[in-house]
């Protein structure tokens, strides 16, 4: 037995003691092949999964490095069965390799003939393959490159893609570094992506993922298609690119519900890409409209299924996915791995916070007791209606007002999922509402007024969950959410994490109805942030009538 900071368990969980002096070195060694599951105050929990091990292999790590890290840092002997399983799992990656053959084009070569024979007999995979060139090689139709990788991952034989990328149509893009520079972790993220050619960069909200995208574009020096969650996010990308690069207004096109511009750099929304016209996804033709050298997927954890399908046909293009979390509520992390690429860079939220690049945040769950009438209404409601009834209880209204009173003058977002609830809040608080039906021009006007301090409080629906840059926001009050969505919780906290000029702390409140589904779903939503090291403090709504929150504006 040694005095290492790590406990390796036979169920493939790793427990890391944070107070141990060797914890930072151990964490750096295990991060490439183990997924962080929970990171509360003292013990962080990681899990070794096949996808995590294959991610490590794709990034250039081998089984010997993984075994060495586990044995080196473990306090107790590492279970022998776990080490054997790690070696065997990692050995499955790359037995099949996609390559470009001078005479036959795209081929799949096998480093293990038995695996190839197994795959050739698989009913779903065989139709994607062409003629057999020799005992170890088979032709692959170029259009099947992504679909094949997707299918091979699902049967446990992830292919190594060495077929390379086309450069696409050249277009000069330079970073304008007059009054800014890439932070060290942003530069590392770009290097990690470029070394692999395609893949995903995971950075916290507020850590500058857009700048990573801009630097990748400058590195590619080619036409670029950028896919974003909504029009406001797209225009934010446009502003950043105009401010940070050599690109001009004429070089950047918007492809949205309002405009259909195709230019050397084109920013398109997921909504327009997935809109059906006559039962057909006509706008997916945008992928083929130019010889793109780079495709960027913003908020890749939200990628809609039709875009996944089109991405399967884009495997010869360099692809960069940007996200704060690879958690997908639909469980399609494997499709991100096979179609966008493996994780190329990941920085823990707390690490970026400790470096001062994102604001520290306090997370508070405020529990509200429903009135007798509300409790009875909840009890007799149909099961599918109960969550909405609990989430939108009028008892939450005075609590929201009390929180606002504790942070007078601070830029505050009141966030919810139900429009009737938001309209009542806007009316009672006498503040503007931004929801799905709000026209883009009005949204941008209100966001600009919020940034300028002219409007201190906004009531917003889930349209503000994604990619909206509101660096001044210091308080968020969440009154209802999309059931138990961990993505949503992370995105909403992310609205507060831009560093504050005066170093102020951010405050994230969730107002939750006690003894209802609202409490259960809140616990599930909070899981991702707890994994990132953000501890929730639970307070009773009545306690908000006490002294003000430490650090709040006076």
Per-residue pLDDT of the chain (554 residues; tens, 9 = 90+): 578 999 999 999 999 998 999 998 898 889 889 987 777 678 888 999 999 999 899 888 999 999 999 999 999 999 999 999 999 999 999 999 999 999 999 999 999 999 999 999 999 999 999 999 999 999 998 888 999 999 999 999 999 988 888 899 999 999 998 888 999 999 999 999 998 889 999 888 778 889 999 999 999 999 999 999 888 788 889 999 999 999 999 999 999 888 889 999 999 988 888 887 777 777 777 887 889 999 999 988 778 877 877 787 788 889 999 987 776 666 778 888 888 988 888 877 777 877 777 777 788 889 999 999 999 999 999 988 988 999 899 999 999 999 999 999 888 989 888 889 999 999 999 999 988 788 878 888 888 898 888 999 999 887 655 555 666 788 989 898 765 455 566 666 766 666 666 667 788 898 999 999 888 877 766 766 666 666 678 888 887 655 444 444 33
CA angle 538, 543, 549 (to 5 degrees): 80
Residue 515 structure tokens: 């003894």
What is the model's pTM? Answer: 0.74
Cβ 457 vs Cβ 429: under 8 Å: yes
DSSP class of residue 283?
G
Nearest to 236 by CA among 275, 208, 277: 208
Residue 83 is predicted with a pLDDT of: 96
Beta-carbon neighbour count of residue 159 at 10 Å?
25
Residue 484 is predicted with a pLDDT of: 45
Nearest to 53 by CA among 42, 61, 44: 61
Nearest to 267 by CA among 244, 243, 240, 246: 240
Residue 286 is predicted with a pLDDT of: 81
Residue 508 is predicted with a pLDDT of: 85
Architecture category of domain 184-353 in CATH = 3-Layer(aba) Sandwich (3.40)
Give the burial class of 499: count Cβ atoms within 10 A of its Cβ; 0-12 exposed, 13-18 middle, 19 or more buried. Answer: middle
Q: Where are the domains of the chain?
A: 6-92, 96-161, 184-353, 359-545
Nearest to 310 by CA among 124, 127, 143, 100: 143
Instruction: Give phi and psi for 72, each to the nearest 5.
Output: -65, -40
Residue 441 structure tokens: 């021009």
What does the buried/exposed string (b/e) look like for 198-210 if buried means 16 or more CB atoms within 10 Å of the residue's CB?
bbbbbbbbbbbbb
Residue 471 is predicted with a pLDDT of: 60
Instruction: Note whether 184-353 and 359-545 share their fold.
Output: yes
Homologous superfamily, domain 359-545:
P-loop containing nucleotide triphosphate hydrolases (3.40.50.300)
């Amino acid at each position: 037995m040694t005095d290492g900071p790590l406990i390796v368990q036979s169920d493939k969980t790793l427990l890391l003691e944070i107070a141990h002096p060797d914890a930072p070195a151990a964490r750096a060694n295990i991060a490439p092949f183990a997924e962080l599951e929970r990171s509360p105050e003292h013990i962080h929990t990681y899990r070794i999964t096949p996808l995590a091990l294959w991610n490590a292999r794709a990034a250039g790590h081998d089984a010997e490095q993984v075994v060495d890290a586990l044995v080196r840092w473990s306090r107790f002997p590492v279970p022998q069965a776990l080490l054997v399983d790690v070696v065997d799992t990692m050995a499955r990656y790359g037995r099949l390799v996609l390559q470009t053959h001078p005479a036959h084009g795209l081929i799949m070569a096998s480093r293990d003939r038995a695996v190839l024979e197994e795959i050739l007999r698989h009913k779903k995979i065989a139709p994607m393959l062409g003629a057999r060139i020799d005992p170890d090689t088979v032709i692959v139709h170029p259009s099947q490159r992504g679909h094949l990788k997707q299918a091979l991952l699902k049967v446990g034989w992830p292919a190594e893609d060495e077929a390379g990328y086309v450069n696409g149509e050249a277009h000069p893009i330079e970073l304008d570094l007059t009054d800014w520079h890439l932070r060290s972790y942003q530069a590392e993220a770009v290097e990690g992506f470029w070394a692999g050619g395609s893949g995903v960069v995971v950075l916290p909200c507020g850590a500058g993922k857009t700048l990573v995208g801009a630097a990748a574009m400058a590195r590619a020096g080619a036409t670029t298609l950028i896919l974003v969650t909504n029009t406001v996010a797209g225009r934010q990308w446009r502003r950043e690119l105009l401010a940070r690069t050599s690109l001009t207004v004429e070089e950047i096109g918007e492809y949205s519900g309002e405009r259909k511009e195709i230019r050397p750099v084109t920013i398109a929304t997921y909504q327009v890409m997935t809109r059906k016209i006559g039962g057909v996804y006509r706008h997916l033709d945008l992928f083929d409209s130019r010889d793109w050298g780079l495709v960027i997927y913003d908020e890749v954890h939200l990628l809609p299924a039709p875009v996944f399908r089109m991405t399967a046909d884009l495997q010869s293009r360099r692809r960069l996915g940007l996200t704060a979390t690879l958690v997908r509520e639909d469980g399609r992390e494997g499709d991100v791995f096979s179609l966008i690429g493996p994780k190329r860079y990941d920085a823990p939220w707390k690490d970026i916070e400790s470096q001062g690049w994102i604001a520290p945040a306090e997370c508070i769950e405020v529990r509200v007791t429903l009135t007798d009438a509300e409790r009875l209404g909840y009890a007799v409601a149909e099961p599918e209606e109960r969550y909405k009834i609990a989430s939108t209880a009028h008892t939450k209204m005075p609590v929201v007002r009390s929180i606002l009173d504790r942070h007078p003058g601070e830029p505050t977002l009141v966030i919810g999922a139900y429009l009737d609830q938001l309209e009542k809040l806007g009316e009672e608080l006498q503040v503007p509402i931004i929801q799905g039906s709000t026209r883009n021009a009005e949204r941008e006007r209100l966001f600009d007024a919020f940034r300028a301090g002219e409007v201190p409080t906004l009531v917003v629906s889930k349209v503000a969950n994604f990619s909206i840059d509101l660096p001044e926001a210091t308080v968020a009050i969440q009154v209802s959410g999309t059931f138990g969505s961990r993505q949503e919780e992370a995105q909403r906290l992310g609205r507060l994490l831009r560093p504050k000029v005066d170093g102020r702390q951010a405050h994230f409140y969730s107002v939750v109805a006690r003894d209802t589904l609202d409490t259960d779903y809140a616990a599930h939503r909070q899981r991702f942030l707890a994994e990132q090291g953000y501890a929730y403090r639970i307070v009773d709504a009545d306690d908000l009538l006490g002294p003000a929150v430490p650090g709040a504006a006076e």
